[in-house]
Amino acid sequence: MPLMNGGPWTVLAITAVYIIFVKYLGPAIMSKRAPYDLRSTIFWYNIALVILNGLFFIYSAMFTRFGIRTWQCNPIDPSQWDNEMKLKLSVAWIFVMSKFVDLLDTIFFVFRKKYNQVSALHVIHHSLVPINCWMGFKYVPSESAAFMPFLNSFVHMVMYTYYALSTLGPKVTPYLWWKKYLTQLQIIQIALVSIHCVYIAFLPSCKVPKFVFLIALPQALLVLAMFCSFFINSYLKPSPPSKSSISSSSTTTASSPSTAKAKSS
């Protein structure tokens, strides 16, 4: 299958080009240009990914019995090359390729000059996921490595629904109060993936390439820590008072003596 022959060099090259573009080249190109209005493009892009991830979730639920088989030892058996296996591998390959399509999220940010959204969390997360999905499909093409795709397809279906709705403007904004819970869902997903990596890596007598899970584990823990930090800073820490509120408070304090004097007189 395309990109699956040989080592990871093509995948790493794509990731390197992505990082260079979103952090350096893209902002340099846009420095003297006005931001592009991509709302319509982004809306249909998000709708397409909602549908695609919905199909991934349905297929992965069928293939893994709603994730149950991902917690069992499923050694790779090339002798089982039948039509069902061909379908499973085809769906899994399309899922891996979709992780490269997800890189367009950041490129849209750059073209819209939304550089604050090109955060370290965003870029690191988007860089690691395609590499790990490629590695899992390359070396562990069995249900044992399908837990992350099973969860991720559901989370991305919800996430891209939110992104699609957010492009519709202020009239929809009051209905997007659940962004906080979307972040919590992502944290739960990564925590469960981390637990699954540990479980499979230390599952006795299971003959699957366990180095894949051991390599993925510290990356998952890093992204989990970054997501938790983002959640705490965004939703739990009290926001600093704005300049207008400080100014209003100062005005009220300054006027209070004269008000008291007026009342006494």
The answer to whether position 247 is within a domain reads: yes
Q: Is the dihedral of CA 253, 255, 258, 259 positive or negative?
A: negative
The answer to whether position 1 is within a domain reads: no
Active site residue 125: yes
pLDDT for the residue 103: 98
pLDDT for the residue 248: 46
The answer to whether position 3 is within a domain reads: no
pLDDT digits (tens, 9 = 90+) for 22-68: 999 999 999 999 999 999 999 999 999 999 999 999 999 999 999 99
What is the rounded CA–CA span in Å between residue 245 and residue 257? Answer: 20
For tokens 């080009």, what's the residue?
17
Kindly list the averaged pLDDT for each block of 10 residues, start to end, along the chain of length 265.
93 98 97 96 98 97 95 87 88 97 98 96 97 96 95 98 95 93 97 97 93 97 97 86 50 42 39
CA angle 20, 25, 27 (to 5 degrees): 115
Q: How many domains does the chain have?
A: 1
pLDDT for the residue 80: 76
Q: Which domain holds residue 156?
A: 9-264
The answer to whether position 36 is within a domain reads: yes
Q: Which of 122, 125, 126, 156 is catalytic?
A: 125
Dmax over CA atoms of the chain, in Å, equals 98
pLDDT for the residue 243: 52
Contact at 8 Å (CB) between 99 and 129? yes
pLDDT for the residue 128: 97
pLDDT for the residue 204: 92
